[in-house]
Amino acid sequence: MDKGQLQQEATELLYREGLTLDRQQWDDWLALWTDDCELWIPAWITEHEQITDPQREISLLYLSGKNYLKERTDRVLKGMSPASVPMPRTCHSVSNILIDAYTSDSMTVQSVFRVDYYHHKKVYGFFGHYTHQLVQQAGGWKIHKKQVTLMNDFISEVLDVYLI
């Protein structure tokens, strides 16, 4: 497979991830992930230094296994958590997509993101870099790992999977 083709497929997956979150199509979003997936937002220690070991240091978010992602979407669906009632309206933008490394059935993809969201009559946003590790599974690409370098880490009340 040539790199241009991979670039196109990675781009489509990243766009689709944002779109399913923005449309609150939770099952479709979950279907993009492998069962043994990991979603990790390392915390910052200083201005330009982040933690490196989620087992020894604090992460902004460290979810290991798709069930932990589903825990988050179920929480939204149940409507029992005031943090997501009403749900903010979100808009994911992903760009600067680069394939870092690839084999026939895996690739590491760098990108930048901005998530604008509207909550309590105000516009908020998160921005930073994504590193996605994608793998081929059952004839399609899935997200095996997503690491988020969140630039604006002084969190206004809530940070959750649908805001990054």
Partner 1 sequence: MDARVTKERVIRDFDQYVDERIDDGVFRVNLDMFRDPDLFELEMEYIWEKTWVFVVHDSQIPENNDFITTQIGRTPVILQRGDDGQVRAFINHCTHRGPRLCKTQRGNAARHTCPYHGWMFDSNGKSMMVTDEETGGYSQAFKSMSHDLHQVARLESYRGFYWASLSDEVSSLKEYLGDVSFFLDAWIDQSPNELEWVKGDANFTYDGNWKMVFENCLDLYHAKTLHASFGNAVMNRFKNMGEDERKSINLDDFVNATAEVSYYNFDNGHGALWIQNQSQQEDRPSYAMYKEMEARVGADRAELMLSGKVAAIFPSILFVESATFQMRMIRPISVDKTEVYAFCLAPKGEPDDARALRIRQYEDFFSTSGLATPDDTAVYRSAQEGDQARTLEWNQGYHRGIEMIQRGPDEKAKQMGFSPTLSIHGSIAIQGEAMYIGPYREWLKKMKAGQDSALSNLSGDVHG
Minimal distance in Å, beta carbon 26 to partner 1?
A: 15
Our CB check for partner 1 shows the closer of 2 and 157 to be 157
Our CB check for partner 1 shows the closer of 67 and 137 to be 67
Our CB check for partner 1 shows the closer of 10 and 41 to be 41
d(CA 118, CA 89): 5
Q: Is 56 in the site for partner 1 (CB under 8 A)?
A: yes
- Residue 153, Cβ density class (10 Å: 0-12 exposed, 13-18 middle, ≥19 buried): middle
- 3-state SS track over 62-124: EEECHHHHHHHHHHHHHCCCHHHCCCCEEEEEEEEEEEEEECCCEEEEEEEEEEEEEECCEEE
Near partner 1 by CB under 8 A: residue from 57, 95, 98, 106: 57
- Element of type H or E holding 147: strand 140-150
Residue range at the interface with partner 1 (CB under 8 A); choices 22-30, 67-75, 106-114, 137-145:
67-75
Residue range at the interface with partner 1 (CB under 8 A); choices 3-11, 24-32, 103-111, 155-163:
155-163
d(CA 153, CA 128): 10
Q: Is 88 in the site for partner 1 (CB under 8 A)?
A: no
Residues that bind partner 1 (CB under 8 A): 41-47, 51, 54-62, 65, 67, 71, 74-75, 78, 80-83, 120, 153-160
